[in-house]
Structure 1
Amino acid sequence: MHKLSLFSLIVGLSLTTHSLLAESLKTEKVTLDMQTLSSGLSHPWAMQFLPDGSFLVTERTGTLRYISKTGEKSEAIQGVPAVHAKGQGGLLGLVLDPDFAKNKTIYISYSEPLDGDVNATAVASAVLDGQSLKQLKVIFRQAEAINSNHHYGGRLVFTPADELFITLGDRGSRRDDAQKLSGHFGKVVKINKDGSAAAGNPFAAQADAKADVWSYGHRNIQGAAIHPQTGLLWTHEHGPQGGDEINIAAAGKNYGWPVITYGEEYGGGVIGQKTKEGLEQPLHYWVPSIAPSGMSFYTGSQINGWQNNLLVGSLKFGQLVRLELTGDKVSHEERIRIGSRIRDVQAGPDGAVYLLTDENDGKLLRLSPQ
């Protein structure tokens, strides 16, 4: 009897301890449990779900590691290239090859150090072999390398046709170049797995344009996702002071930066204008800025009322922003307070939503119904 009581006490304490790890999060549609699945990450930037239910996570400081389904972190995976881990630079985006189950290939984006503090956004492919990356190959380098620690872009998304979209920022000091097709600042590019320009890119036949450019006039895209019904690329980008925006990045379109924007200079001051014929208007924008990062469409069934919603992380306000859509229009916005800078948002294969927090003690959070 004594042993049974002691066992019951231990089980009770275990359940109580577990329940303390989950914070109740009341939203408009449902009350969620927010669980810290893992912590102690150094400014995590991107995550992907592996076939066995574990996670692969990049840390901006230059580390790639596994996190198990129950939150245990692996040692650093070897073979990651050197990164320029200053300011906004470092190890950034991550995506699995569509044939990952067969070829174990992943793609990473990062700020590649070149001469001194000169650096550029680069993308490499590699085979993930246990605790090592093998056969690493740089398949893309931004055409222009400069001394800057800002606006790398870096999100990676595969199309339904297995072509790779790469988002690229204007690097902060070169915003006017976002309007020039001869370079990569402020662009979305589309390439094949080997790094060659994808067939059908809109400027491939234009002598003064990069053949891999897909769309242009962007400031700094840190969120990208393929719409599950249309197959189109949805992006969001940072505005300056105000003017963060969501777009459908379509072939050959000019999204206006810095000619048009709903933002202003830091500290005040006009930048361009709000509209101009021939330049694309955003589907949705934020004034003041929320500093968006990470984006995912929710297609699961576990969280009732969130089906086909767009989920966006906010660095500035520490929020998860839930957007209801009617066609390609935002019909409702909900701000859900998380309390930490959200760097990545991914809807999981289990129907939960996972978040990475951008902190020295970065966390992997899991949101699921109570």
Structure 2
Amino acid sequence: MSLVALATGVLVWGPAAAADVVLRTESGQARLVEVARGLDTPWAMAFLPDGRLLLTERPGRMRLVAADGTVSEPLAGVPEVHARGQGGLLDVALSPHFATDRTIVFSFAQPTASGARTAVARARLDAEALRLDDVTVIFSQNEDPSGNHHWGSRLVFDREGRLFVTLGDRFHSRDRAQALDSHLGKIVRIGLDGSVPGDNPFVRQADGDAKAQPEIWSYGHRNVQGAALDPLTGELWAHEHGPQGGDELNRVLPGRNYGWPVITFGREYVIGTRIGEGTARADVEPPLKQWTPSIAPSGMAFYTGDAFPQWKGNLFVGALKFQLLARLVLEGGKVVHEERLDIGKRIRDVRQGPDGRLWLLDESDGRVLRLDPA
């Protein structure tokens, strides 16, 4: 790829050497460009200020991708991860003050004596030395059941610099998603140092005789693998996997119950029977959208760029099972239309880049992809 340096010092990604794929969309054509390849189960990516990509591979490696598509050697300092089933090294995000503090956060399946749990660590990135320094775990789930499924986990900073962490129900422990003394099946909000914000909804509340965990922001989630802030309101949106149907897109409000496993559109695997009490209840937040059959959503981004002006304000969701990119048109906080862009690969992460384009992680072939105007 050719590389152009702007006066700002930000790197611009040039055209790809590999053959592009042209996608026909409802509003014109788009070009799917291969930026980098050779990755092993890539899970998440974040853009550094100089234009390089920091990305994670689920087996437990973190790498940098240069603007010419060169993939670095693995970074030193990544802690041991439980790389089994769906577990491993998961999301990564830059501190809101990364330009001065060089701090990143990342989530991972943390091995324990009895199993594993989703955890979040903070570290200082030395990009030139390919190293993480001062690695500190700032949050770990308070339960560590056995099993290798449903870890979550996306990381999103709110406008005040507090960190949302999405946490799975760990599959076999799904009833704990309704228990406020448990971190399973929850979204939590913490400070960059792991502290609990004083305005979290359950700081002073108890669940029967068991103390509510103060980190909890919302509960009743199954396996949230996509989350992003609404650029207009600053509210958190998230989507989660359902079983045999019932993938949900939700606007995540403080203290609210999102139903799992009591209220769901999903059905039991194999036998196909209904789960829980039904699909609606007065005290449960209904989804903005549900997918049945399941598309297996992963990764999500609100689009605010200029490369595709016709898509401004749309929400993009990657899909693993259906191997597509869903474009959701929003009006008044509601989904009014869905277009499915057939990528033909398992899309693990979706981000808007500093170039105003959409960037995707292709889990199937271990590639970084970019969607350009055609």
Structure 2, unpaired ranges of 5+: 1-14
Q: Does 2:350 match 1:348?
A: no
Q: Displacement, 1:146?
A: 1.3
Report the equivalent of 2:301. 296
Asked if the contact 1:294/1:344 (under 8 Å) is kept, the reply is yes
C-alpha deviation, 1:140, in angstroms: 0.2
Indicate yes or no: 2:211 matched with 1:212: no
Q: Determine if contact 1:30/1:304 at 8 Å carries over to the other structure.
A: no
Greater radius of gyration (CA): 1
Residue of structure 2 in register with 1:244 after alignment: 247
Is contact 1:30–1:305 with CA below 8 Å preserved after alignment?
no
Q: Which residue of 2 aligns with 1:98?
A: 96
Partner Cα distance (1:353, 1:70) in 2? 17
TM-score when normalising by structure 2: 0.93
1-structure distance, mates of 2:155, 2:316:
17
1:228 to 231, 236, 244: 231
1:319-366 C-alpha deviation (Å, 9 max, x unpaired): 00000000110011000000100000001110111000113x311001
- Whole-angstrom CA distance in 2 between matches of 1:299 and 1:186: 30
- Please state how far the C-alpha of 1:18 moved relative to its aligned partner: 5.4
Shift of 1:98: 0.2
Q: Determine the C-alpha separation between the residues in 1 that align with 2:225 and 2:118.
A: 13
* Paired letter, 1:104: R
**Distance in 1 separating the partners of 2:300 and 2:35:** 20
Alignment partner of 1:363 out of 350, 353, 367: 367
Structure 1: where are the runs of 5+ without partners?
Answer: 1-16
Q: Does 1:321 align with 2:326?
A: yes
Aligned runs of 1:48-59 on 2, under 5 Å? 48-59=46-57
Please say if 1:150 is aligned against 2:153: no
Q: 1:53-202 alignment to 2 at 5 Å?
A: 53-115=51-113, 118-130=115-127, 131-202=130-201
| Cα deviations by residue, 1:56-100 (Å, 9 ceiling, x for unpaired) | 000001000000122110010000000000000000011100000
Deviations 1:281-335 (A, max 9, x none): 1000100000000000000011131101000000001100000000110011000
CA root-mean-square deviation: 1.1
Aligned residue in 2 for 1:270: 274
CA distance in 2, matches of 1:30, 1:137: 47
Q: Return the alpha-carbon distance in structure 2 between the equivalents of residues 262 and 270 of structure 1.
A: 8
Please report how far the alpha carbon of residue 19 of structure 1 lies from its aligned counterpart in structure 2 after TM superposition.
Answer: 6.7
Question: Could you report, residue by residue, the CA deviation over 1:244-293 in whole angstroms, capped at 9, with x for unpaired residues?
Answer: 00001100000000111111011211101111121111000100000000
Moved more, 119-128 or 192-201: 192-201
Who is 1:330 aligned against?
335
Partner of 1:56: helix, strand, or coil?
A: strand
Residue 25 to residue 326, structure 1, CA distance change in 2 (3 Å):
same
Give the residue type in structure 2 aligned to 1:270: R
1:277 partner letter: A
Distance, in Å, in 1 between the alignment partners of 2:17 and 2:336 is 35
Calculate the TM-score normalised by the size of structure 1: 0.94
Q: Percent identity?
A: 53
Cα distance in 1 for residues equivalent to 2:16 and 2:149: 40
Residue 368 of structure 1 aligns to a residue whose secondary structure is strand
Q: Distance in 1 between matches of 2:355 and 2:80?
A: 34
- The one-letter code sitting in structure 1 at the alignment partner of 2:220 is G
Secondary structure of 2:86's aligned partner: coil
1:204 Cα offset (Å): 0.4
Q: CA deviation at 1:132?
A: 0.5
Deviations 1:154-184 (A, max 9, x none): 1000000000000001000011100000010
Offset at residue 29 of structure 1 (A):
1.1
Return the alpha-carbon distance in structure 1 between the equivalents of residues 29 and 327 of structure 2: 14
Aligned equivalents of 1:353, 1:279: Cα separation in 2: 33
1:234 maps to amino acid: W
Structure 1 residues 108-165: Cα deviation after superposition (integer angstroms, max 9, x where no partner): 000001126x100000000001210000000000000111100000100000000000
Q: 1:279 aligns with which of 274, 279, 284?
A: 284
Do the aligned residues in 2 keep the contact of 1:342 with 1:357 (CA within 8 Å)? yes
